A and B are shown apart, each in its own frame.
Chain A
Amino acid sequence: MPGIVGYGAFIPRNRIRSEEIARQWGKDAAAIERGLLLTEKSVPGLDEDTITISVAAGRGALARAGIDPKKVGALYIGSESHPYAVKPSGTVVLEALGLGHEIHVADFEFACKAGTEAMSVALAMVESGRAEYAMGIGADTSQGAPNDALEFSASAGGAAFIFGKTDLLAEVLETYSFTSDTPDFWRREGEFYPRHAGRFTGEPAYFRHVLSATKGILDRSGFKPSDFRHVVFHMPNGKFPLAAGKQLGFTDKQLETGWVVNLMGNTYSGSSPTGLAAILDIADPGDLILITSFGSGAGSDSFILRATDLLPERQGLAPTVRSMLDNPRKYLTYGEYAKVRRKIIVND
């Protein structure tokens, strides 16, 4: 099967600490950090959105791929926070990346799994021979309602992957999807914040789909959990992916590298894709990698990848996820956060 020939990620430099959000609403910061395993999260600036994050991640992917951008024949962007309700994010992104105009473009939406959808379709376009290269991006600047549990996690960032048939950095060995109608989390047209069904988002939603997709891809591929060096599951908070891993028979060590949620938050469509980028940043040739996304509504996409000999020499050609998590960043007060997230009503 084809595979990844280039990848990149981007995380905005603004942060807010869980304890600052807890302070605002009179919540117990220590209990939140212990319960959700969230220390801080990224916050987009007033001038950052799904389009700008996609461009930054896409530029990293092109740098690592070293291909002529004009050979990318398809571009798909998955997000639940496309800046326009009508007008694709992809049109702006393709111009900024210099991909040329002979290209198939679409924006996808499926709550938190739109990114892996974009990757699935990009992979299929290459596998079918309809495009020499295809780019799939997952990016979001998601909003949690004030004083809701989601406010501790909803953050901003994304990752881009270019699929191709030659000079692979990681070969795709298998894919699998599991989808059902599960109303665990939604946002009606015109509403600013999403709604969720509280505890219903756990067992029947996240765990059912993540576990089913992961078991499905293991069955289909014949691999067992201990075969994998790195595993990443969608990260709505710190706890869920670790619990899913445990139930499936993976160790914390296998989950460690992709588990970036404690410092990044939940970047929705960008969550598990950015975890995968963090894994590719350090993976060794031959490493088996498993990724399972989750999107409310609900569904999961799984991929099994194997790092190639070419990967190590490309890792340093664009910023790593870890460098973006650790580099100098600005911590916002809740007031500054409310301003940049446009939660304060101002005159035009």
Chain B
Amino acid sequence: MPSPRYIREIPARYRLEAGRCAGCGRVVYPVRKVCPACGGQDFELVLLSRKGTVVTSTVIHVPPDEFLNEAPYAMAVVETPEGARLMTQIVDCDPASVLPGMLVDLEFRLIREEKKSGILCYGHKGVPAGT
């Protein structure tokens, strides 16, 4: 069964919808009820630019079963120009080349399949910028 959480997260996962706090300007992704910086509860909808910089990264050699055929792969925390941070796979490059400071574009990709007969779950992954 498709998880209700996946359906709820479609705006954030598919369109990178985030919220800008009216109180302090902090951009939070995904949108929350309360700003982690100032406690404000007013958010304006913003779309993150589909690019960013790797803040920190690691290479996964022993993945969960459903990602077995993708290993080894790079996971990274990417910061967008708006200051939002997201955890994402970095693909279409040598995983060892994914290091802090690397510029990436965020592309729409298949993230996982809910088993062989379940739904397909999509979202964004990083790829080397400008390729």
Contact = CB atoms under 8 A, between A and B. Distances in A.
Residue of B115, B120, B128 contacting most chain A CB atoms (<10 Å) = B120
Given A47-B111, A56-B107, A330-B92, A96 B131 contact: no
A345 interface: no
Interface residues of B, number: 24
Given A47-B110, A92-B122, A98-B15, A327 B70 contact: no
B19 to A, nearest CB: 16
Interface residues of A, number: 24
Contact of B120 (A59, A83, A95): A83
Nearest to B11: A95
A45 B92 contact: yes
A49 B110 contact: yes
Contacts of B10: 95
B122 A51 contact: yes
A84 B121 CA distance: 12
A240 B90 CA distance: 39
Given A48-B110, A83-B120, A346-B69, 15 more contacts: A13-B92, A47-B110, A47-B125, A49-B110, A52-B107, A52-B108, A52-B109, A55-B108, A56-B108, A84-B120, A95-B10, A95-B11, A96-B15, A330-B92, A348-B116
Nearest to B47: A98
A339 interface: yes
Residue of A47, A96, A330 contacting most chain B CB atoms (<10 Å) = A47
Interface in A76-96: 83-84, 92, 95-96
A244 B2 CA distance: 48
B91 A45 contact: yes
A95 B14 contact: yes
A348 B115 contact: yes
Contact of A47 (B47, B109, B128, B131): B109
A328 interface: yes
A84 B116 CA distance: 11
Those 5 A-B pairs whose CB atoms lie nearest each other, nearest first: A55-B108, A47-B109, A96-B14, A47-B110, A95-B14
A348 B114 CA distance: 11
Contacts, number: 59
B131 A328 contact: yes
Contact of A96 (B70, B92, B116, B122): B122
7 contacts: A46-B70, A52-B122, A56-B107, A59-B50, A84-B120, A95-B14, A328-B131
Contacts of B111: 47
B70 to A, nearest CB: 6
A160 B24 CA distance: 40
Contacts of A51: 108, 110, 120, 122
Contact of A95 (B15, B47, B68): B15
Contacts of A346: 68-69
Interface in B24-60: 47, 50
Nearest to B50: A59
Nearest to A348: B116
A339 B69 contact: yes
A330 B50 CA distance: 23
Interface string B97-114: 000000000011111000
Given A52-B122, A96-B108, A47 B115 contact: no
Given A13-B92, A92-B122, A95-B10, A48 B15 contact: no
A45 to B, nearest CB: 7
Nearest to B119: A87
A141 to B, nearest CB: 11
Contact of B131 (A13, A52, A55, A92): A13
A178 B15 CA distance: 39
Nearest to A13: B92
Nearest to B89: A47
A330 B92 CA distance: 8
Contacts of B91: 45, 47
A348 B10 CA distance: 26
Contacts of B69: 46, 339, 346
Nearest to B67: A46
